Chains A and B, each alone.
Chain A
Amino acid sequence: NAGVTQTPKFQVLKTGQSMTLQCAQDMNHEYMSWYRQDPGMGLRLIHYSVGAGITDQGEVPNGYNVSRSTTEDFPLRLLSAAPSQTSVYFCASSPRDTDNEQFFGPGTRLTVL
């Protein structure tokens, strides 16, 4: 199993540009989440999904959209990038019927100029 994969690894955007961060998992996990990590802030939840077709907002959802059309994929869309969205983004997945372990991907480092 590849586990949780994220693409791209690095991305530089200009203010106002849009892009999609890709996340895929091959473990048939029902739950998937997006976090951002900023220095001194820990990880903060952006959006999460408890199954295909079901998404909800986390702590810092503004400026981000998500959708979940399949169990495997959970893309994160930035509609109009802002410098405040410069961060490292982590996708995670977890099965429903275990003791809550989340498996994290390797992250995407995004810089918005």
Chain B
Amino acid sequence: QQQVKQSPQSLIVQKGGISIINCAYENTAFDYFPWYQQFPGKGPALLIAIRPDVSEKKEGRFTISFNKSAKQFSLHIMDSQPGDSATYFCAASPSGGGANSKLTFGKGITLSVRP
């Protein structure tokens, strides 16, 4: 049973547009929700993360929106650029007891930003 589900599976956006990637989770014990960005041939790198005590977090052009009652969170990339073209993973983990060593990842989505 997949605990973290991403949608859509792939996304093509024009330069300057808004990219929106959604994620849904099932385990109510999850309370840390990061998004990772991965370029071809590289390891994933943390982009932005949120905890459920806030509904939104913004860092530059990247925003996470969190809906605890719906068990959903999303990544918004404003003013999308060709350099944002990468694979994006949402993930989740519970707190405590080494939780930050055992993330549960979604399947990933490939974003292509057209010039």
Interface residues of A (CB under 8 A from B): 4, 31-33, 35, 40-45, 48-50, 56, 58-59, 90, 92, 94, 96, 98-107
When distances are taken between beta carbons in the complex, the residues of chain A under 8 Å from B45 are 104
Interface residues of B (CB under 8 A from A): 32, 34, 41-46, 49, 51, 89, 93, 97-108
Do the beta carbons of A42 and B103 come within 8 Å of each other?
Answer: no
How distant is the Cα of A42 from the Cα of B106 in the complex, in angstroms? 6
Do the beta carbons of A48 and B102 come within 8 Å of each other?
Answer: yes
When distances are taken between beta carbons in the complex, the residues of chain B under 8 Å from A45 are 102-104
What is the chain A residue whose CB lies nearest that of B95?
Answer: A100
| CB-CB under 8 A for A94 and B101, given A42-B89, A99-B49, A100-B49 | yes
When distances are taken between beta carbons in the complex, the residues of chain A under 8 Å from B106 are 42
How distant is the Cα of A63 from the Cα of B23 in the complex, in angstroms? 30
Do the beta carbons of A102 and B105 come within 8 Å of each other?
Answer: no
| CB-CB under 8 A for A31 and B49, given A44-B105, A99-B32 | no
How distant is the Cα of A90 from the Cα of B91 in the complex, in angstroms? 15
Do the beta carbons of A33 and B102 come within 8 Å of each other?
Answer: yes
How distant is the Cα of A96 from the Cα of B100 in the complex, in angstroms? 8
How distant is the Cα of A103 from the Cα of B46 in the complex, in angstroms? 8
What is the chain A residue whose CB lies nearest that of B31?
Answer: A100
Do the beta carbons of B98 and A102 come within 8 Å of each other?
Answer: no
**Which of B41, B49, B98, B104: most chain A CB closer than 10 A?**
B98
Contacts A35-B105, A100-B49, A104-B43 aside, 15 further interface pairs with beta carbons under 8 A come to A4-B43, A31-B98, A40-B107, A43-B89, A48-B101, A49-B101, A50-B97, A92-B101, A99-B32, A99-B49, A100-B32, A101-B49, A104-B44, A104-B45, A106-B42
Give, as a whole number of angstroms, the nearest-CB distance from B25 to chain A: 13
Do the beta carbons of A102 and B101 come within 8 Å of each other?
Answer: yes
What is the chain A residue whose CB lies nearest that of B107?
Answer: A42
When distances are taken between beta carbons in the complex, the residues of chain B under 8 Å from A59 are 104
What is the chain A residue whose CB lies nearest that of B44?
Answer: A104
Please provide the 10 A-B residue pairs with the shortest distance between their CB atoms, ordered closest to farther. A104-B43, A100-B100, A31-B101, A50-B98, A42-B105, A42-B107, A43-B105, A48-B101, A94-B100, A33-B101
